[in-house]
């Protein structure tokens, strides 16, 4: 799972689990005070929870591309201290890739779930988001016995859970999940850029930037745009209106630049 994941054109869970051997002498139980990012998990382990998972998603606010949810359980001790780990939004793309590889190599278990645009359009963002997070947690192997979620509660996980405000900045396992989700989704958006270069998905990753809005208004939406977003509906309707006008006038949508050698329109 350390390599590139394929584009998500179907609802798909891509779980992966890593069971680690016992920690070397002197490493087990070394959750000594240190970086505050690990404090919450350390506290839960002291209360008897040995597999604390973090869950987070990427792409919830984008108007194009899939939603990606991830869950991750980091080991106790020094092995769980992932170098450079932080909220994925605070890392550069290169740093996220490095941290992603470290998380995959160190995690007790981790999973990624990709939800395509068709499902998001059919069921709505909130319902689908909750389902994706539940699927990510449920496919962890070994399973979690406590789950920390980023920002809002996720019912139906089957184990004790806590919603943590800005969890990807205060809990290491949530930060790890955020990196897994973000890197996976960014890779998918790079693949989509190859299919739909006119939208420049490689740069804005499907979020509503000024450049993306301009491209959407010019070209109309593609199949990877989410039809529940107002800007996508507006661009789709505007595109359809232009096509209707040109059809009624006996022209073609893209014939404005077609000219003969003499320079007269043909």
Tens of pLDDT along 24-49?
Answer: 333 333 444 348 999 999 999 999 99
What is the Cβ-side half-sphere exposure of residue 219, based on CA atoms within 13 angstroms? 15
Tens of pLDDT along 98-140?
999 999 999 999 999 999 999 999 999 999 999 999 999 999 9
97 and 146 belong to one structural domain? yes
Burial classification of residue 102, based on how many CB atoms lie within 10 Å of its CB (0-12 exposed, 13-18 middle, 19 or more buried): middle
Taking residue 97's Cβ as centre, other Cβ atoms within 10 Å add up to 15
Instruction: Provide the number of structural domains found in the chain.
Output: 2
Which residue has 């947690």 as its token pair? 137
User: Nearest to residue 172, comparing CAs of 17, 19, 53?
Assistant: 53
**Residue with the larger pLDDT of the pair 23 and 50:** 50
In a domain, 26, yes or no: yes
In a domain, 24, yes or no: yes
Q: What is the pTM of this model?
A: 0.80
In a domain, 93, yes or no: yes
Greatest alpha-carbon span in the chain: 84
User: Nearest to residue 146, comparing CAs of 160, 162, 164, 163?
Assistant: 160
Is it the case that residue 21 has pLDDT exceeding 50?
no
**150 has binding-site annotation:** yes
218 and 91 belong to one structural domain? no
137 and 46 belong to one structural domain? yes
- Give me the domain span that covers residue 152: 12-193
Is it the case that residue 213 has pLDDT exceeding 50?
yes
47 and 151 belong to one structural domain? yes
39 and 90 belong to one structural domain? yes
Domain boundary (177, 193, 209) is at 193
Q: How confident is the model at residue 238 (pLDDT cuts 50, 70, 90)?
A: confident
């Amino acid at each position: 799972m350390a390599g590139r994941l394929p584009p998500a054109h179907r609802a798909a869970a891509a779980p992966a689990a890593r069971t680690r051997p016992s920690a070397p002498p002197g490493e087990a139980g070394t959750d000594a005070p240190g970086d505050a990012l690990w404090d919450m998990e350390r506290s839960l382990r002291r209360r008897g929870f040995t597999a604390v998972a973090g869950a987070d998603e990427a792409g919830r606010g984008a108007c194009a591309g899939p939603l990606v949810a991830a869950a991750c359980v980091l080991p106790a001790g020094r092995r769980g201290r992932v170098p450079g780990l932080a909220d994925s939004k605070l890392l550069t793309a290169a740093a996220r890739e490095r941290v992603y590889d470290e998380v995959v190599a160190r995690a007790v278990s981790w999973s990624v779930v990709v939800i395509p645009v068709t499902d998001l359009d059919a069921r709505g963002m909130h319902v689908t988001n909750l389902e994706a997070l539940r699927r990510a947690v449920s496919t962890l192997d070994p399973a979690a016995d406590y789950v920390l979620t980023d920002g809002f509660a996720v019912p139906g996980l089957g184990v004790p859970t806590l919603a943590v405000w800005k969890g990807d900045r205060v809990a290491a396992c949530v930060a790890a999940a955020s990196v897994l989700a973000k890197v996976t989704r960014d890779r998918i958006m790079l693949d989509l850029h190859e299919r739909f270069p006119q939208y420049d998905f490689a740069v804005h990753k499907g979020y509503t930037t000024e450049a993306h809005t301009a491209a959407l208004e010019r070209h109309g939406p593609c199949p990877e745009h989410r039809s529940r977003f107002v800007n996508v509906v507006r661009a789709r309707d505007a595109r359809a209106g232009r096509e209707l006008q040109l059809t009624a006038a006996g022209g073609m949508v893209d014939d404005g630049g077609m000219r003969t050698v003499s320079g007269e329109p043909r």
